[in-house]
Chain A
Amino acid sequence: MKRKVNLQNLIVPAALPLVVFLIFYICQPDRFGTPSGLLIMLQQSVIDSVIGFGLCYNLVIDTWDFSSGAQLVLAGLIGAFSAQYFGIWGLIVVTVVVSILLGSLTGFIYSALKIPSIIVTIGIMLVYESAGTLFRGGASITVPSSISFLGRAPYIFIVGILAYLLAYLLYHHTKFGYHVRAVGNGEITAKNIGINSIRVRFLCFVVCGFFVGIASLLQVSYGGAIAPKGGMNTMSMVFPPFMGVFIGQYLEKYCDIMIGIFLGVFSMTMINTGLIAMGLPGTLQQVVTGMFMLIFMAISINQDAFKIRKRKAAI
């Protein structure tokens, strides 16, 4: 039995990315799955995975955060501007610190107002987007290639691995992580054993801000430039990490949630790349991605209900 469980812990997490890979590889063996292509996809998965690590803390306690994208852009703009005067350290320190401050502000407003997180974070998203378009008159900022090396291999992988290790340690081996899991499993029970759930919710936004800050400096380095976004367009930036977290939560039964998040994001990245390799028109790519999300969520949410029905039928 123990051997079966261990095998399951290896097979199930690997199954999703493997299935996605095989589907596209079979369809386009000449274009998809080349070693250089795999490296590119892994590289592209880092930024969304790091955002996912941060969002994980909020989503575990059923808190939505739609402001992370706007936070990333605003922190990136200020960090990129600082880089013009203080070089790489300006980019790193300012981006992360600003993102933490923005996350703290979001967390404070959410904790203080006690209204649903969706409403608070959408409102905050609009504020941060506006602030981004007001900063320096809304001009985009370019960073020189000499300081944008963090967006390239191997540095992007080094930062990604360090972010994973930090997220893992924080989630599994600290009191804060324990409190997050406790609140996520039942807030009333957590309160009854003396956990301050309001403080936990606030700190989740602060921690999310830290990881979003790291993702922001990687994003600026990767693109070489950053431009403000308005009209709620930053919301679409958090959907791939959200999917990563949902997949991670599903895979938590078999592997570490942070590994699950990465596998989820990597799978989504392979789908995007695979659709391009298949030559699908741009408009259809989004349809396929959306359908994948719906199918996966439908299966994972209804899986337990299906098992119960099957057991009842067997009886």
Chain B
Amino acid sequence: MKKIISLLLVMVLNVTLLLTGCSGGNQSQEGNNSEGATAAAGEEGKLPEKFKIGVVIWSTVDDLGKASADMLNYASDVLGCEMVYNTDISSPESQITATENLIAAGCDAVAICNYSDDILPKIAKICEESNVYFTLIWRSISDPEVKEIVESSSYYLGNTCEDEEEIGYRMGKTLYEKGSKNIAVITMEKGDSTSDARNKGFDRACEEFGMKRISEVRNNTITAAETTKAVENFLASFPELDGIFVTGGSNTILEGVIQALELHNKTGEVKVACVDFISDLDKYIEEGAIDAISGGHFVDPLFSYMLMVNKLAGTPLSETCETLNLNFINLVSPEDAVNYYTYVEGEEFPYSEEEIKSMVKYFNSEMTIGELKEIANNYSVDDVVERHSK
């Protein structure tokens, strides 16, 4: 009996190890060990050294996370670098641990999508002690004290961000223009800087246009069924509800909203505005299930990546930390969605191999920080169409 139990225990442990070793759900994973295998150091057309870049990100399998990881993996294949992702981040504190783990894994630079500003001084200290450069992705530093500390670090190269407050305002304004006055919000818990900024912008729109935030649900781990429940509660408690704003619609949150409205025949009647793209957008927009959606900012990490790669290659674009601003892509019609998925997030990447190389001064001596900022600032569907339809 004991032998049977021991044997079964060993089998269970082996299966567990096999499952966890096969690929990386919450674990670090090599991003570009695929058919585009990375080149050896010093290979022609690649950087002189195979730099290892780490990314602290919430997920590499949801719509936004996967698109970003694919973009970075492609850029790394082109340049001859290596990507490592750590998605084991359930709280701001765990992001510090994640950064330490990436440094311990040999990363030469780390890009972080931080939940809050509070952890950044600690991260700056860790990176300084380890001589590892770091940047922020999808984030800006709003706390002035933290900003001063982080920007004084010689290992902080800068950040790429979008105007989160502006997009929150724009979503609110669009809902108003669609006729909404009483809006419920599905958002993250307070303390997430992106969500807080989008909420702030939305509240500004409410004040300006006389709309009311009649209810809200705050949950960092909400998925489809919980969202459906939340929307049903809104519908049950607030018959005057005519709009829903989702500050971050990835990970089946937006699908849950659409499902709930469909269940209660409110599709089109209750307007929906959301930040973050999901699949089948053209179908949902055509059916009237989504009235305003912004996203497409999966290329954001690419620009922070370029700051790091240029620095590591010995050709830094700037001696000080830099902020690169990116625009959201707004989709208001099914045609917009079709164009987006054809040109921007389709079979080809929005930046070609030549364009990626041209962002690195090692390959393009004329690249400057001003030019990189301009490339980021110009990002849009029209920009990609213009560049790639030639």
> A: which residues have CB within 8 A of B?
28, 31-32, 34, 36-37, 40-41, 43-44, 47, 105, 108-109, 112-113, 127, 130-134, 137-140, 142, 145, 148, 151-152, 219-220, 222-233, 236, 272-273, 276-277, 279, 281-283
Note all chain B residues with C-beta closer than 8 A to A134.
19-20, 22-23, 25
12 contacts between A and B (CB under 8 A): A37-B237, A40-B233, A134-B20, A145-B259, A222-B229, A223-B256, A224-B224, A224-B255, A226-B223, A273-B233, A273-B237, A277-B233
State how many angstroms separate the Cβ of A199 from the closest Cβ of chain B: 14
- Which chain B residues lie closer than 8 Å to A281 at the CB level? 216, 218
Q: A225-B259, A276-B234 are in contact. Are A219 and B225 (CB under 8 A)?
A: yes
Q: Which residues of B contact A219 (CB under 8 A)?
A: 225
Minimum distance in angstroms from B85 CB to a CB of chain A: 12
Given A152-B263, A223-B255; A44-B25 close (CB under 8 Å): no
Q: How far is the CB of A237 from chain B (nearest CB, A)?
A: 9
Is A37 touching B228 in the complex (CB atoms < 8 A)? Answer: no
* Chain B residues positioned under 8 Å from A127 (CB to CB): 16, 19
Of chain A, the residue at the smallest CB distance from B258 is A224
Given contacts A34-B236, A130-B25, A138-B59, A283 and B190 within 8 Å (CB-CB): yes
**CB distance B223 to A31 under 8 Å?**
no
Which residues on A sit within 8 Å (CB–CB) of B333? Answer: none
Secondary structure dominating the interface of A? helix
Interface residues of B in 206-249 (CB under 8 A from A): 214-219, 221, 223-230, 232-239
A142 to B190, CA, bound (A): 29
Flag if A272 contacts B233 (CB, 8 Å).
yes
Question: Smallest Cβ distance from A130 to chain B, in angstroms?
Answer: 6
In the complex, what residue of chain B is closest to A140 when comparing beta carbons? Answer: B252
B1-32 toward A: CB 8 Å interface, digit per residue (1/0)? 00001001100100010011011011000000
Q: Are A231 and B90 in contact (CB under 8 A)?
A: yes
Number of B residues near A (Cβ < 8 Å) is 53
- CB-CB under 8 A for A277 and B237, given A222-B225, A223-B259: yes
Q: B269 at interface (Cβ–Cβ under 8 A)?
A: no
Q: Contacts A140-B251, A140-B252, A231-B90 given: A223-B224 contact, CB under 8 Å?
A: yes
Give chain B nearest CB distance to A267 CB in angstroms.
Answer: 15
Question: How many interface contacts (CB-CB < 8 Å) are there between A and B?
Answer: 144
B262 interface contact, C-beta 8 A: yes
The distance in angstroms between the C-alpha atoms of A142 and B62, with both chains bound, is 13
What is the distance, in angstroms, from B202's C-beta to the closest C-beta of chain A?
Answer: 14
B221 adjacent to A41 (CB under 8 Å): no
5 A-B pairs closest in CB distance: A133-B25, A223-B224, A282-B218, A223-B225, A231-B90
Residues of B within 8 A of A230 (CB): 25-26, 90
CB closest residue in chain B, given A272:
B233
B41 within 8 A of A: no
Query: Is B189's beta carbon under 8 Å from chain A?
Result: yes
- Indicate if the CB atoms of B61 and A229 lie closer than 8 Å: no
Task: Tell me how far the C-beta of A14 lies from the nearest C-beta in chain B, rounded to whole angstroms.
Answer: 22
A231 vs B92: C-alpha distance when bound (angstroms): 13
B256 touches A224 (CB 8 A): yes
CB pair A224 B216 closer than 8 Å? no
Q: What would 15 more interface pairs be, CB under 8 Å, given A223-B223, A225-B252?
A: A34-B236, A130-B20, A130-B25, A134-B19, A138-B59, A138-B61, A140-B223, A224-B259, A225-B223, A230-B26, A279-B214, A279-B215, A282-B216, A282-B219, A283-B190
**Counting chain A CB atoms within 10 Å of each CB, which of B88, B224, B230, B251 scores highest?**
B224
Give the complex CA separation of A276 and B186 in angstroms: 12
* CB-based contact B251/A227 at 8 Å: yes
User: A137 contacts B90, CB within 8 Å?
Assistant: no
In whole angstroms, how far apart are the Cα atoms of A273 and B59 in the complex?
Answer: 31
B67 to chain A, nearest CB (A): 12
Q: Complex: how many Å from CA A151 to CA B219? A: 22
CB within 8 A of B12: which of A40, A109, A145, A231? Answer: A109
Q: Which of B5, B223, B229 contacts A227 (CB 8 A)?
A: B223
When distances are taken between beta carbons in the complex, the residues of chain B under 8 Å from A273 are 233, 236-237
